[in-house]
Amino acid sequence: MKIVVIGGTGLIGTKLVSNLLQLDNQVVAASPAMGVNTITGEGLSRAMEGAEIVVDVSNSPSYEEKFVMRFFETSGRNLMAAGKAAGVTHHIALSIVGTEELAAQSPYLRAKLAQETIIRESGLPFTIVHSTQFFEFLSGIAQSNTQGQTVHLSPAYVQPITADDVAAALTETTMAVPHNDMVEIGGPERVRLSDIVERYLAEINDPRTVVADPQARYFGALLTDKVLVPGESAYLGTTNYDAWMAAQRKPV
């Protein structure tokens, strides 16, 4: 079976490609670095030729409001057109838990919602996978909310998941029938965002101080305790924070 992974050379994409190859699939890792550009269309038709499944785990290189909307709308439309032309039978896209609830406040999530709408209205069989935040992005979250030596973060609950567990869930989704709906994935533990980042910074000996600030924004949005955690029917990864941190400390 031929599977095209859009964003196949990124954090999640490389892991997903490896998983799918181990299941004896023909897998194309598609990205601009590999000569496939979903914005310009360069190499897209060639990569999609004969594909049965497409998995889109790509992300915008900029979160600026106009840029990110243009990225997800253009990429989404080009992928749907190429998928129809190739006879794709299942289009899968990775998105974010809380997208619908926070889209009105967050330009980035508004663009993700636009991407999802294009997929839903395309007529292609699909599954949209809403994931909670990745452990691997804790450093970036801290950096984007730093003022001097202080990090202001919402104390709202989150349920972080490892990139490996995301790839495992996407592998299962790829090999299953289309849901024609959204499914959720998350990590095994529910924690407060400010607490988990504070703990992470302490463990890497980062001197910054974390302030739990209910007015601190996340992708431009104010958070509540329920918006960034998955529902009861979600697929839950097995790797908790302690296990993830232990893996980071192992020599390469």
- The tally of domains found in the chain comes to 1
Predicted confidence at residue 172, as pLDDT, reads 97
Check: CB of residue 227 under 8 Å from CB of residue 102.
yes
Tell me the two tokens of residue 107. 């330009």
pLDDT given at position 249: 80
pLDDT reported for residue 219: 86
Strand partners, 55: 5, 92
Look at residue 66 in the predicted model and tell me its pLDDT: 97
Six-digit token pair at 72? 């997800």
User: Is the entire prediction scored with pTM above 0.75?
Assistant: yes
Give the model's pLDDT for residue 244: 96
Domain that holds residue 63: 2-249
Task: Give the count of beta carbons closer than 10 Å to the beta carbon of residue 198.
Answer: 20
Cβ neighbors of 224 (< 8 A, separation 6 or more) are 156
Mean pLDDT for back-to-back runs of 10 residues, the chain (252 residues) = 97 98 97 97 96 97 95 98 97 97 95 98 98 96 94 97 98 98 97 97 96 94 95 95 90 61
Q: What's the rounded Cα separation, in Å, for the pair 243 and 252?
A: 16
Indicate which CATH number applies to the domain containing 129.
Answer: 3.40.50.720
Identity of the residue numbered 150: T
